[in-house]
Protein backbone atom coordinates (compact mmCIF):
# COMPACT_ATOMS: atom_id res chain seq x y z
CA UNK A 1 0.00 0.00 0.00
CA UNK A 2 2.64 2.23 0.87
CA UNK A 3 4.38 1.36 -2.40
CA UNK A 4 1.29 2.10 -4.51
CA UNK A 5 0.78 5.37 -2.71
CA UNK A 6 4.38 6.43 -3.55
CA UNK A 7 3.90 5.60 -7.20
CA UNK A 8 0.76 7.68 -7.37
CA UNK A 9 2.55 10.61 -5.80
CA UNK A 10 5.42 10.37 -8.30
CA UNK A 11 3.06 10.25 -11.26
CA UNK A 12 1.12 13.19 -9.92
CA UNK A 13 4.37 15.15 -9.61
CA UNK A 14 5.35 14.33 -13.18
CA UNK A 15 1.99 15.43 -14.49
CA UNK A 16 2.26 18.66 -12.55
CA UNK A 17 5.80 19.28 -13.80
CA UNK A 18 4.80 18.67 -17.43
CA UNK A 19 1.97 21.13 -17.14
CA UNK A 20 4.21 23.72 -15.70
CA UNK A 21 6.75 23.26 -18.59
CA UNK A 22 4.01 23.64 -21.18
CA UNK A 23 2.89 26.78 -19.48
CA UNK A 24 6.44 28.21 -19.56
CA UNK A 25 6.95 27.36 -23.24
CA UNK A 26 3.70 29.02 -24.17
CA UNK A 27 4.64 32.13 -22.16
CA UNK A 28 8.11 32.37 -23.92
CA UNK A 29 6.49 32.00 -27.34
CA UNK A 30 4.12 34.82 -26.53
CA UNK A 31 7.06 36.99 -25.39
CA UNK A 32 9.05 36.26 -28.58
CA UNK A 33 6.10 37.16 -30.72
CA UNK A 34 5.66 40.35 -28.73
CA UNK A 35 9.40 41.25 -29.19
CA UNK A 36 9.17 40.68 -32.90
CA UNK A 37 6.13 42.85 -33.02
CA UNK A 38 7.93 45.62 -31.08
CA UNK A 39 11.00 45.47 -33.33
CA UNK A 40 8.79 45.55 -36.39
CA UNK A 41 6.89 48.46 -35.02
CA UNK A 42 10.08 50.36 -34.18
CA UNK A 43 11.45 49.67 -37.66
CA UNK A 44 8.26 50.85 -39.27
CA UNK A 45 8.33 53.92 -37.00
CA UNK A 46 12.01 54.65 -37.91
CA UNK A 47 11.27 54.17 -41.58
CA UNK A 48 8.32 56.48 -41.37
CA UNK A 49 9.83 59.08 -39.01
CA UNK A 50 13.56 59.20 -40.01
CA UNK A 51 14.08 60.66 -43.54
CA UNK A 52 17.02 59.68 -45.80
CA UNK A 53 19.88 62.11 -46.42
CA UNK A 54 22.26 62.81 -49.36
CA UNK A 55 25.92 62.74 -48.44
CA UNK A 56 28.93 63.69 -50.59
CA UNK A 57 31.98 61.77 -49.39
CA UNK A 58 35.48 63.04 -50.33
CA UNK A 59 38.38 60.75 -49.55
CA UNK A 60 41.66 59.52 -51.04
CA UNK A 61 41.36 61.77 -54.10
CA UNK A 62 37.86 60.52 -54.98
CA UNK A 63 34.33 61.74 -54.47
CA UNK A 64 31.00 59.86 -54.25
CA UNK A 65 27.43 60.95 -53.54
CA UNK A 66 25.19 58.47 -51.63
CA UNK A 67 21.62 58.52 -50.31
CA UNK A 68 21.45 56.87 -46.84
CA UNK A 69 19.37 56.50 -43.67
CA UNK A 70 22.55 56.05 -41.61
CA UNK A 71 23.01 59.02 -39.32
CA UNK A 72 26.36 58.04 -37.84
CA UNK A 73 29.19 59.38 -40.06
CA UNK A 74 31.81 56.81 -39.07
CA UNK A 75 29.32 53.97 -39.53
CA UNK A 76 28.45 55.37 -42.97
CA UNK A 77 32.12 55.49 -43.97
CA UNK A 78 32.58 51.88 -42.90
CA UNK A 79 29.45 50.84 -44.81
CA UNK A 80 30.83 52.31 -48.11
CA UNK A 81 34.28 50.75 -47.56
CA UNK A 82 36.40 53.63 -46.22
CA UNK A 83 38.67 52.48 -43.40
CA UNK A 84 39.98 55.09 -41.02
CA UNK A 85 43.58 54.84 -39.81
CA UNK A 86 45.33 56.32 -36.80
CA UNK A 87 45.44 60.08 -37.02
CA UNK A 88 42.86 60.36 -39.84
CA UNK A 89 40.36 63.16 -39.45
CA UNK A 90 36.73 63.28 -40.60
CA UNK A 91 35.34 66.76 -41.16
CA UNK A 92 31.61 67.33 -41.65
CA UNK A 93 30.88 70.32 -43.84
CA UNK A 94 27.58 71.98 -44.53
CA UNK A 95 26.73 71.95 -48.21
CA UNK A 96 23.96 73.47 -50.29
CA UNK A 97 21.19 70.97 -49.47
CA UNK A 98 23.71 68.17 -49.13
CA UNK A 99 26.02 66.94 -46.38
CA UNK A 100 29.76 66.77 -47.12
CA UNK A 101 32.09 64.37 -45.33
CA UNK A 102 35.77 64.99 -45.96
CA UNK A 103 38.28 62.38 -44.87
CA UNK A 104 41.69 63.93 -44.28
CA UNK A 105 44.40 61.35 -44.00
CA UNK A 106 47.18 61.93 -41.55
CA UNK A 107 50.54 62.24 -43.29
CA UNK A 108 53.30 60.01 -42.03
CA UNK A 109 56.43 62.17 -41.80
CA UNK A 110 59.98 61.36 -40.78
CA UNK A 111 61.55 64.40 -39.11
CA UNK A 112 65.35 64.51 -38.67
CA UNK A 113 66.74 67.28 -36.50
CA UNK A 114 69.75 67.63 -34.21
CA UNK A 115 70.76 64.00 -34.82
CA UNK A 116 67.36 62.60 -33.75
CA UNK A 117 64.78 61.04 -36.06
CA UNK A 118 61.05 61.26 -35.29
CA UNK A 119 58.14 59.43 -36.90
CA UNK A 120 55.02 61.60 -36.92
CA UNK A 121 51.40 61.51 -38.03
CA UNK A 122 50.39 65.04 -38.89
CA UNK A 123 47.80 67.21 -40.55
CA UNK A 124 50.20 70.15 -40.82
CA UNK A 125 49.99 71.79 -44.24
CA UNK A 126 53.36 73.57 -44.22
CA UNK A 127 56.76 72.68 -42.88
CA UNK A 128 56.80 75.52 -40.35
CA UNK A 129 53.43 74.26 -38.98
CA UNK A 130 54.96 70.78 -38.72
CA UNK A 131 57.98 72.13 -36.83
CA UNK A 132 55.70 74.08 -34.46
CA UNK A 133 53.73 70.89 -33.87
CA UNK A 134 56.99 69.03 -33.11
CA UNK A 135 58.17 71.99 -30.94
CA UNK A 136 61.35 72.39 -33.02
CA UNK A 137 62.77 75.95 -32.91
CA UNK A 138 64.81 77.30 -35.85
CA UNK A 139 67.05 80.33 -36.45
CA UNK A 140 67.29 82.60 -39.46
CA UNK A 141 70.30 80.78 -40.98
CA UNK A 142 68.90 77.25 -40.52
CA UNK A 143 67.61 75.51 -43.65
CA UNK A 144 65.19 72.69 -44.30
CA UNK A 145 65.23 69.90 -46.88
CA UNK A 146 62.26 67.89 -48.09
CA UNK A 147 63.22 64.51 -49.53
CA UNK A 148 66.74 65.88 -50.12
CA UNK A 149 65.69 69.12 -51.87
CA UNK A 150 66.25 72.54 -50.27
CA UNK A 151 62.86 74.21 -49.69
CA UNK A 152 61.52 77.18 -47.74
CA UNK A 153 60.02 76.87 -44.29
CA UNK A 154 56.56 77.76 -45.61
CA UNK A 155 56.68 75.09 -48.32
CA UNK A 156 53.82 72.52 -48.26
CA UNK A 157 54.51 69.26 -46.46
CA UNK A 158 53.40 67.53 -49.63
CA UNK A 159 51.33 68.59 -52.66
CA UNK A 160 47.62 69.13 -51.79
CA UNK A 161 45.03 66.45 -52.69
CA UNK A 162 42.62 67.58 -55.39
CA UNK A 163 39.19 65.93 -55.28
CA UNK A 164 37.83 64.76 -58.64
CA UNK A 165 34.27 63.59 -59.29
CA UNK A 166 34.16 60.04 -60.70
CA UNK A 167 31.36 57.64 -61.54
CA UNK A 168 32.56 54.73 -59.41
CA UNK A 169 34.08 55.11 -55.95
CA UNK A 170 37.32 53.32 -55.27
CA UNK A 171 38.01 52.86 -51.60
CA UNK A 172 41.65 51.80 -51.97
CA UNK A 173 43.82 54.47 -50.26
CA UNK A 174 46.19 56.50 -52.42
CA UNK A 175 49.77 55.31 -52.41
CA UNK A 176 51.84 57.16 -49.85
CA UNK A 177 55.08 58.85 -50.85
CA UNK A 178 57.60 58.81 -48.01
CA UNK A 179 58.15 62.30 -46.63
CA UNK A 180 61.51 63.09 -45.04
CA UNK A 181 61.92 66.53 -43.48
CA UNK A 182 65.47 67.38 -42.41
CA UNK A 183 66.43 70.49 -40.47
CA UNK A 184 70.00 71.52 -41.12
CA UNK A 185 71.43 73.76 -38.41
CA UNK A 186 73.59 76.73 -39.31
CA UNK A 187 77.24 76.40 -38.27
CA UNK A 188 79.71 79.25 -37.56
CA UNK A 189 82.41 79.98 -40.14
CA UNK A 190 85.02 82.62 -41.00
CA UNK A 191 85.55 83.96 -44.54
CA UNK A 192 88.95 85.44 -45.46
CA UNK A 193 89.15 87.32 -48.77
CA UNK A 194 92.57 88.23 -50.23
CA UNK A 195 94.15 87.87 -46.76
CA UNK A 196 91.59 89.94 -44.85
CA UNK A 197 88.75 88.61 -42.70
CA UNK A 198 85.58 89.92 -44.34
CA UNK A 199 82.91 87.91 -42.54
CA UNK A 200 82.34 85.87 -39.40
CA UNK A 201 78.94 84.40 -40.04
CA UNK A 202 76.86 81.22 -39.98
CA UNK A 203 75.49 79.04 -42.75
CA UNK A 204 73.53 75.83 -43.15
CA UNK A 205 74.38 75.37 -46.83
CA UNK A 206 75.85 71.96 -47.65
CA UNK A 207 79.00 73.09 -49.53
CA UNK A 208 81.65 75.79 -49.30
CA UNK A 209 80.60 77.27 -52.66
CA UNK A 210 76.97 77.65 -51.55
CA UNK A 211 78.02 79.20 -48.24
CA UNK A 212 80.18 81.77 -50.12
CA UNK A 213 77.30 82.56 -52.46
CA UNK A 214 74.99 83.04 -49.47
CA UNK A 215 77.53 85.43 -47.93
CA UNK A 216 77.74 87.45 -51.17
CA UNK A 217 81.33 86.47 -51.98
CA UNK A 218 81.92 86.23 -55.74
CA UNK A 219 84.25 83.48 -56.93
CA UNK A 220 85.43 84.21 -60.47
CA UNK A 221 87.50 82.37 -63.06
CA UNK A 222 90.96 81.49 -61.81
CA UNK A 223 90.17 82.31 -58.15
CA UNK A 224 91.48 80.01 -55.42
CA UNK A 225 89.19 78.65 -52.68
CA UNK A 226 90.50 76.74 -49.68
CA UNK A 227 89.04 74.27 -48.73
CA UNK A 228 87.78 73.24 -52.18
CA UNK A 229 84.55 74.92 -53.28
CA UNK A 230 82.72 71.57 -53.38
CA UNK A 231 83.87 70.51 -49.90
CA UNK A 232 81.17 69.92 -47.28
CA UNK A 233 80.62 72.73 -44.82
CA UNK A 234 81.79 72.00 -41.28
CA UNK A 235 81.45 73.91 -37.98
CA UNK A 236 84.07 76.61 -37.27
CA UNK A 237 85.43 76.29 -40.82
CA UNK A 238 87.87 78.95 -42.12
CA UNK A 239 87.30 79.60 -45.82
CA UNK A 240 90.00 81.51 -47.72
CA UNK A 241 89.33 83.11 -51.10
CA UNK A 242 92.12 84.55 -53.29
CA UNK A 243 91.00 86.50 -56.34
CA UNK A 244 93.07 86.17 -59.51
CA UNK A 245 93.88 89.32 -61.51
CA UNK A 246 92.37 89.45 -65.02
CA UNK A 247 94.76 90.42 -67.83
CA UNK A 248 93.77 90.80 -71.50
CA UNK A 249 96.60 89.96 -73.89
CA UNK A 250 96.29 91.11 -77.51
CA UNK A 251 98.42 88.97 -79.82
CA UNK A 252 99.15 89.66 -83.51
CA UNK A 253 96.42 87.26 -84.65
CA UNK A 254 94.24 86.80 -81.55
CA UNK A 255 93.56 87.88 -77.98
CA UNK A 256 93.24 85.94 -74.73
CA UNK A 257 92.14 86.73 -71.18
CA UNK A 258 94.46 85.40 -68.47
CA UNK A 259 93.69 85.04 -64.77
CA UNK A 260 96.90 85.14 -62.83
CA UNK A 261 98.48 85.41 -59.40
CA UNK A 262 101.87 86.38 -60.89
CA UNK A 263 103.30 89.80 -60.13
CA UNK A 264 104.84 90.73 -63.53
CA UNK A 265 103.64 90.60 -67.14
CA UNK A 266 106.45 88.28 -68.19
CA UNK A 267 105.78 85.81 -65.37
CA UNK A 268 102.03 85.84 -66.10
CA UNK A 269 102.61 85.14 -69.81
CA UNK A 270 105.06 82.36 -69.02
CA UNK A 271 102.71 80.76 -66.47
CA UNK A 272 99.93 80.77 -69.09
CA UNK A 273 102.21 79.29 -71.76
CA UNK A 274 102.07 82.41 -73.96
CA UNK A 275 105.36 82.93 -75.82
CA UNK A 276 106.18 86.08 -77.79
CA UNK A 277 106.64 85.67 -81.57
CA UNK A 278 110.05 86.50 -83.07
CA UNK A 279 110.85 90.20 -83.51
CA UNK A 280 108.14 91.26 -81.06
CA UNK A 281 107.85 93.06 -77.74
CA UNK A 282 105.16 93.66 -75.12
CA UNK A 283 103.45 96.93 -74.17
CA UNK A 284 103.72 97.44 -71.17
CA UNK A 285 107.08 95.72 -70.84
CA UNK A 286 107.56 92.19 -69.48
CA UNK A 287 108.78 93.49 -66.11
CA UNK A 288 105.71 95.72 -65.58
CA UNK A 289 103.57 94.93 -62.51
CA UNK A 290 100.25 93.16 -63.07
CA UNK A 291 96.97 94.76 -61.89
CA UNK A 292 93.38 93.60 -62.27
CA UNK A 293 91.84 94.55 -65.62
CA UNK A 294 95.24 95.15 -67.22
CA UNK A 295 95.63 95.12 -71.03
CA UNK A 296 98.87 93.91 -72.62
CA UNK A 297 99.64 94.32 -76.31
CA UNK A 298 102.18 92.08 -78.05
CA UNK A 299 103.74 94.04 -80.92
CA UNK A 300 105.40 92.13 -83.77
CA UNK A 301 107.68 94.13 -86.10
CA UNK A 302 108.54 93.16 -89.69
CA UNK A 303 110.13 94.94 -92.69
CA UNK A 304 109.83 94.04 -96.36
CA UNK A 305 111.07 95.41 -99.68
CA UNK A 306 108.20 96.36 -101.98
CA UNK A 307 108.60 97.07 -105.72
CA UNK A 308 106.12 99.42 -107.39
CA UNK A 309 105.92 99.74 -111.20
CA UNK A 310 104.23 102.72 -112.85
CA UNK A 311 103.37 102.53 -116.54
CA UNK A 312 103.82 105.94 -118.23
CA UNK A 313 102.12 106.52 -121.58
CA UNK A 314 104.12 108.20 -124.29
CA UNK A 315 103.12 111.69 -125.40
CA UNK A 316 102.30 112.85 -128.95
CA UNK A 317 104.26 115.90 -130.09
CA UNK A 318 104.03 117.83 -133.37
CA UNK A 319 106.95 119.09 -135.41
CA UNK A 320 107.16 120.85 -138.78
CA UNK A 321 108.69 119.18 -141.85
CA UNK A 322 109.38 121.39 -144.89
CA UNK A 323 109.45 118.34 -147.14
CA UNK A 324 105.73 117.59 -146.64
CA UNK A 325 103.05 118.88 -149.00
CA UNK A 326 99.95 120.66 -147.62
CA UNK A 327 97.62 118.16 -145.89
CA UNK A 328 100.31 115.47 -145.61
CA UNK A 329 101.59 114.16 -142.23
CA UNK A 330 104.35 111.75 -141.18
CA UNK A 331 104.24 109.90 -137.86
CA UNK A 332 107.14 108.35 -135.98
CA UNK A 333 105.59 105.98 -133.36
CA UNK A 334 107.01 106.06 -129.83
CA UNK A 335 106.38 103.65 -126.93
CA UNK A 336 105.30 103.67 -123.26
CA UNK A 337 107.75 103.56 -120.39
CA UNK A 338 107.92 101.87 -116.94
CA UNK A 339 109.03 103.77 -113.84
CA UNK A 340 110.21 101.55 -110.94
CA UNK A 341 110.12 102.61 -107.27
CA UNK A 342 111.53 100.45 -104.46
CA UNK A 343 110.21 100.98 -100.91
CA UNK A 344 111.20 99.70 -97.47
CA UNK A 345 107.84 98.91 -95.75
CA UNK A 346 107.55 98.39 -92.00
CA UNK A 347 104.72 96.35 -90.41
CA UNK A 348 103.39 96.21 -86.83
CA UNK A 349 101.25 93.14 -86.13
CA UNK A 350 100.72 92.68 -89.85
CA UNK A 351 99.53 96.25 -90.46
CA UNK A 352 101.68 98.69 -92.44
CA UNK A 353 103.23 101.29 -90.16
CA UNK A 354 105.86 103.01 -92.37
CA UNK A 355 106.90 103.31 -96.03
CA UNK A 356 110.25 104.80 -97.15
CA UNK A 357 111.34 105.28 -100.81
CA UNK A 358 114.72 103.61 -101.26
CA UNK A 359 115.38 104.35 -104.95
CA UNK A 360 113.58 105.15 -108.24
CA UNK A 361 114.58 104.39 -111.86
CA UNK A 362 113.24 103.80 -115.37
CA UNK A 363 112.95 100.17 -116.37
CA UNK A 364 112.25 101.53 -119.88
CA UNK A 365 111.93 105.24 -120.63
CA UNK A 366 108.90 106.44 -122.63
CA UNK A 367 109.57 107.71 -126.16
CA UNK A 368 107.28 110.39 -127.62
CA UNK A 369 105.26 109.78 -130.77
CA UNK A 370 106.20 112.57 -133.24
CA UNK A 371 103.72 113.82 -135.86
CA UNK A 372 105.38 115.86 -138.61
CA UNK A 373 103.28 118.42 -140.51
CA UNK A 374 104.10 120.59 -143.56
CA UNK A 375 105.55 124.07 -143.19
CA UNK A 376 103.13 126.75 -144.43
CA UNK A 377 105.60 128.82 -146.43
CA UNK A 378 102.84 130.52 -148.36
CA UNK A 379 101.03 132.10 -145.47
CA UNK A 380 102.33 135.52 -146.40
CA UNK A 381 100.84 135.31 -149.90
CA UNK A 382 97.61 137.21 -150.40
CA UNK A 383 96.96 135.32 -153.66
CA UNK A 384 97.65 131.64 -154.44
CA UNK A 385 100.15 130.42 -156.95
CA UNK A 386 98.41 128.30 -159.55
CA UNK A 387 95.06 128.24 -161.43
CA UNK A 388 92.04 129.38 -159.40
CA UNK A 389 88.75 127.73 -160.31
CA UNK A 390 86.51 130.00 -158.20
CA UNK A 391 86.39 132.22 -155.18
CA UNK A 392 84.09 131.56 -152.17
CA UNK A 393 83.29 133.87 -149.31
CA UNK A 394 83.24 131.76 -146.11
CA UNK A 395 83.43 132.10 -142.31
CA UNK A 396 86.72 130.45 -141.26
CA UNK A 397 87.20 129.07 -137.67
CA UNK A 398 89.98 126.84 -136.35
CA UNK A 399 90.34 123.52 -134.39
CA UNK A 400 92.97 121.02 -133.24
CA UNK A 401 92.87 117.39 -132.00
CA UNK A 402 92.26 118.38 -128.36
CA UNK A 403 89.16 120.44 -129.23
CA UNK A 404 87.21 117.28 -130.17
CA UNK A 405 86.85 116.36 -126.46
CA UNK A 406 88.28 112.84 -126.72
CA UNK A 407 91.04 111.70 -124.31
CA UNK A 408 94.53 111.37 -125.78
CA UNK A 409 94.36 107.60 -125.12
CA UNK A 410 91.38 107.22 -127.49
CA UNK A 411 92.49 105.50 -130.72
CA UNK A 412 90.32 108.01 -132.65
CA UNK A 413 92.02 110.98 -131.03
CA UNK A 414 92.87 113.60 -133.71
CA UNK A 415 91.51 111.47 -136.60
CA UNK A 416 89.48 113.20 -139.35
CA UNK A 417 86.53 111.90 -141.37
CA UNK A 418 89.00 110.78 -144.08
CA UNK A 419 91.34 109.06 -141.58
CA UNK A 420 94.20 111.58 -141.62
CA UNK A 421 95.37 113.39 -138.45
CA UNK A 422 94.31 116.96 -137.79
CA UNK A 423 97.24 119.25 -138.56
CA UNK A 424 98.16 122.21 -140.73
CA UNK A 425 96.50 122.06 -144.17
CA UNK A 426 93.52 119.94 -143.08
CA UNK A 427 90.25 121.85 -143.59
CA UNK A 428 86.82 120.72 -142.37
CA UNK A 429 84.05 121.63 -144.86
CA UNK A 430 80.41 120.99 -145.72
CA UNK A 431 80.87 118.37 -148.50
CA UNK A 432 77.58 119.45 -150.13
CA UNK A 433 79.25 122.81 -150.88
CA UNK A 434 82.93 121.88 -151.04
CA UNK A 435 83.60 118.22 -151.97
CA UNK A 436 86.19 116.29 -149.89
CA UNK A 437 89.61 116.32 -151.54
CA UNK A 438 89.19 119.87 -152.89
CA UNK A 439 92.41 121.91 -152.75
CA UNK A 440 92.16 125.54 -151.70
CA UNK A 441 94.13 128.55 -150.63
CA UNK A 442 93.13 130.51 -147.50
CA UNK A 443 94.73 133.96 -147.18
CA UNK A 444 96.64 134.26 -143.88
CA UNK A 445 96.62 130.45 -143.43
CA UNK A 446 98.03 128.99 -146.64
CA UNK A 447 97.21 125.94 -148.69
CA UNK A 448 94.73 123.37 -147.50
CA UNK A 449 92.77 120.27 -148.51
CA UNK A 450 89.08 119.52 -147.71
CA UNK A 451 89.73 116.38 -145.60
CA UNK A 452 87.27 116.58 -142.66
CA UNK A 453 83.67 117.34 -141.72
CA UNK A 454 81.99 118.53 -138.55
CA UNK A 455 78.61 118.92 -136.92
CA UNK A 456 79.01 122.70 -136.75
CA UNK A 457 80.50 123.01 -140.23
CA UNK A 458 77.47 123.71 -142.43
CA UNK A 459 77.15 125.76 -145.59
CA UNK A 460 79.69 128.55 -145.89
CA UNK A 461 81.60 127.69 -142.72
CA UNK A 462 85.03 126.05 -142.80
CA UNK A 463 87.29 124.91 -139.93
CA UNK A 464 91.07 125.27 -140.29
CA UNK A 465 93.22 122.51 -138.75
CA UNK A 466 96.13 123.12 -136.37
CA UNK A 467 98.26 120.52 -134.55
CA UNK A 468 98.33 120.27 -130.75
CA UNK A 469 101.07 122.17 -128.96
CA UNK A 470 101.37 125.20 -131.28
CA UNK A 471 100.34 128.79 -130.75
CA UNK A 472 97.25 129.45 -132.84
CA UNK A 473 97.29 132.96 -134.26
CA UNK A 474 94.10 132.66 -136.30
CA UNK A 475 91.09 134.86 -135.62
CA UNK A 476 87.76 133.54 -136.83
CA UNK A 477 86.36 135.81 -139.54
CA UNK A 478 84.71 136.17 -142.98
CA UNK A 479 87.11 136.07 -145.92
CA UNK A 480 87.42 134.99 -149.53
CA UNK A 481 89.10 131.66 -150.23
CA UNK A 482 90.34 130.32 -153.56
CA UNK A 483 89.31 126.95 -154.91
CA UNK A 484 92.21 125.56 -156.94
CA UNK A 485 92.12 123.30 -159.99
- The model's pLDDT over 206-257, given as tens digits with 9 standing for 90+, comes to 899 989 998 889 998 889 999 999 999 999 999 999 999 999 998 877 888 9
Sheet containing strand 164-165, edge to edge, reads 89-94, 99-104, 53-59, 62-68, 164-165
Residue 44: predicted pLDDT: 47
Range(s) of the domain holding residue 220: 187-242
Is 29 domain-assigned?
Answer: no
pLDDT in tens, 319-330: 667 777 665 667
Same domain, 450 and 359: no
> In this structure, what CATH number is given to the domain that contains residue 363?
2.20.230.10
pLDDT at position 102, please?
83
233 shares its domain with 318 = no
Report yes or no on 264 lying in a domain: no
Residue 164 reports pLDDT greater than 50: no
Residues 331 and 363 in one domain: yes
Q: Are residues 145 and 72 in the same domain?
A: yes
Are 399 and 442 in the same domain? Answer: yes
Separation CA 396–CA 386 (nearest Å): 22
Q: Residue 109 maps to which CATH number?
A: 3.10.20.30
Domain at 421, CATH number: 2.40.40.10
> Has residue 406 been placed in a domain?
yes
What is residue 165's predicted lDDT score, i.e. its pLDDT? 39
Do residue 332 and residue 422 come from a single domain?
A: no
Instruction: Confirm if 245 and 259 have CB atoms less than 8 A apart.
Output: yes
Q: Cα(116)–Cα(333) distance, rounded to whole angstroms?
A: 115
State whether 350 and 443 are in the same domain: no
Closest CA to 440 of 458, 467, 468, 462: 462
pLDDT score recorded for residue 54: 84
Of 315, 346, 370, at which residue does a domain stop? 370
| pLDDT at 317 (0 to 100) | 65
Judge whether 47 lies within some domain. no
Tell me whether residue 228 is in a domain: yes
Long-range contacts of 352-360 (CB under 8 A, 24+ apart): 355/306, 358/305
Burial of 233 (0-12, 13-18, 19+ CB in 10 A): buried
Give the pTM. Answer: 0.45
pLDDT in tens, 337-394: 899 999 988 777 778 878 888 899 898 889 888 767 666 544 445 566 668 889 999 9
393-452 residue pLDDT tens: 999 999 998 887 888 888 888 889 888 888 888 999 999 999 999 998 898 888 889 999
The count of domains in the chain is 4
Sheet holding 107-113, edge to edge: 116-122, 107-113, 179-184, 143-146, 149-151
Amino acid sequence: MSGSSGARDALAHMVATAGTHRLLVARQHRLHLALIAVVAAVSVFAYLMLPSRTVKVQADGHEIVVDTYISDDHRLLGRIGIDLNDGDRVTALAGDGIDVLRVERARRVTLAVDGITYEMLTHARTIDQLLDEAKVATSGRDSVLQNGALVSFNAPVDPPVLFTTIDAFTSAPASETPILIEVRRAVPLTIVEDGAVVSETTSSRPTVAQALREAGIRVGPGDRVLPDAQASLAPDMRIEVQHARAMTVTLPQDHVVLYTFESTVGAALAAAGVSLPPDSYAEPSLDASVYDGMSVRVVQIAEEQEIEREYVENRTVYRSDPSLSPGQVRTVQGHDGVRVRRYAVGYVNGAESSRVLVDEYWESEPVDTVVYYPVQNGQHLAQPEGQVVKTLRVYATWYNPASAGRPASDPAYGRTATGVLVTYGVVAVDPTLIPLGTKMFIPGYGYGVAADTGGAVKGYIIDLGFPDGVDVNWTSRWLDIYILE
